[in-house]
């Protein structure tokens, strides 16, 4: 029986990898809804049907039956969210409300991509940035929809994704992608002070494998998808081996986050890829190749 799946943010970094995995199963008909603010047509996957637009308009843009929505299409940067608050509100509040209403009206199953910032700095994470606040708020709203309207849902939390198709340029570049470009251009690696920020870097293939399991078998909240080993930002910079330049502290930059992977591991998931091996392979390629 064919299943219609919609991935919001399907032209983005993680979303495109999820689309790739979902389309590999002949029973799935996969659609993407993306506003291309950080997504790219370069990330399009053969077999996926692409819609360009904002999640706020999902009710008008998606006029066909959908069985499952993987909602990844939200604003997803911490430090930049202080200056982009209007965009954060539109995407993460109004947009997610529209997605929830679509699911309620059409009886879709929802897989919501929460944020591990929720577990940062002994519970202070949600109040540390506009991004963190909206994401934590949304997890509570999803759970409330489950209680109020019997919404079928599961909530997953990603920890510091890296891998092919990362953003390497501009304000929305990810750390590994940015460091890779800096090494390629023989520029210093900027480490935001104090440099002791702990992160659980998780390869995108491991994140998508966990997300797919959560989509198929998860129920409710609490599905963390993160590598068990944590490294400081300074540790990562030293693995790259370039010149290091210390940068001033930035608002919202958490020092740590609790890792909650027990429920996801209970579905049979575990992280397979190591960040050290990935960086070593990048080094051997001269930081010129996009690795798998």
For position 291, what pLDDT does the model report?
61
Give me the chain's average pLDDT, please: 95
> Does 241 score more than 90 pLDDT?
yes
The SS3 of residue 229 is coil
Residue 99, both tokens: 């997605």
Q: Cβ(154)–Cβ(214) under 8 Å?
A: yes
> Does 208 score more than 60 pLDDT?
yes
> Does 286 score more than 70 pLDDT?
yes
CATH architecture of 3-284: 3-Layer(aba) Sandwich (3.40)
Q: Burial level of 55, CB count in 10 A (0-12/13-18/19+)?
A: buried
pLDDT tens-place string over residues 29-60: 999 999 999 999 999 999 999 999 999 999 99
Ranges of each domain in the chain: 3-284
The pLDDT of 218-247, averaged and rounded, is: 97
- Rounded CA separation 212/90 (Å): 27
For position 254, what pLDDT does the model report?
86
Q: Which residue, chain included where needed, has tokens 């935001």?
A: 192
Q: How confident is the model at residue 6 (pLDDT cuts 50, 70, 90)?
A: very high
- Rounded CA separation 5/72 (Å): 13
CA distances from 79 to 69, 76, 95, 111, 227 (A): 28, 10, 20, 25, 23
The pLDDT of 244-270, averaged and rounded, is: 94
For position 127, what pLDDT does the model report?
84
- Rounded CA separation 139/116 (Å): 11
Instruction: Specify the range with the lowest mean pLDDT, choosing from 88-92, 160-164, 176-180, 255-259.
Output: 255-259
Q: Cβ(153)–Cβ(112) under 8 Å?
A: yes
The pLDDT of 255-284, averaged and rounded, is: 96
- Rounded CA separation 154/218 (Å): 6
> Does 276 score more than 70 pLDDT?
yes
For position 153, what pLDDT does the model report?
98
> Does 292 score more than 70 pLDDT?
no
For position 225, what pLDDT does the model report?
98
pLDDT tens-place string over residues 108-162: 999 999 999 888 777 777 889 999 999 999 999 999 999 999 999 999 999 999 9
For position 68, what pLDDT does the model report?
98
CA distances from 189 to 171, 185, 201, 238, 247 (A): 15, 11, 17, 9, 10
The pLDDT of 245-267, averaged and rounded, is: 93
The pLDDT of 227-232, averaged and rounded, is: 97
For position 289, what pLDDT does the model report?
57
């Amino acid at each position: 029986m064919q299943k219609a799946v919609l991935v919001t943010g399907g032209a983005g970094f993680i979303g495109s990898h999820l689309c790739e995995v979902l389309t590999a199963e002949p029973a799935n008909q996969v659609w993407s809804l993306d506003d291309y603010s950080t997504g790219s047509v370069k990330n399009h996957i053969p077999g996926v049907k692409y819609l360009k637009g904002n999640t706020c308009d999902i009710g008008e843009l998606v006029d066909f039956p959908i069985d499952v929505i993987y909602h990844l299409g939200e604003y997803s940067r911490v430090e930049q969210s202080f200056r982009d608050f209007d965009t954060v509100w539109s995407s993460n509040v109004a947009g997610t409300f529209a997605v929830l209403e679509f699911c309620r009206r059409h009886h879709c199953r929802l897989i919501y991509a929460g944020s591990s910032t929720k577990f940062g700095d002994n519970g202070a994470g949600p109040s540390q940035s506009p991004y963190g606040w909206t994401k934590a708020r949304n997890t509570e709203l999803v759970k409330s929809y489950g209680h109020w309207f019997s919404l079928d849902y599961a909530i997953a939390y990603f920890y510091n994704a890296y891998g092919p198709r990362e953003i390497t340029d501009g304000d929305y570049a990810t750390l590994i992608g940015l460091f890779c470009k800096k090494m390629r251009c023989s520029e210093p690696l900027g480490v935001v002070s104090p440099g002791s920020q702990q992160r659980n870097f998780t390869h995108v293939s491991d994140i998508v494998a966990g997300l797919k399991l959560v989509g198929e078998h998860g129920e409710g909240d609490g599905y963390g998808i993160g590598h068990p080993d944590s490294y400081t930002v300074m540790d990562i910079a030293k693995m790259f081996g370039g010149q290091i330049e210390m940068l001033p502290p930035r608002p919202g930059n958490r020092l740590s986050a609790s890792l909650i992977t027990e429920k996801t591991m209970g579905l049979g998931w575990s992280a397979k890829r190591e960040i050290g091996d990935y960086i070593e392979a990048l080094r051997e390629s001269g930081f010129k190749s996009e690795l798998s």
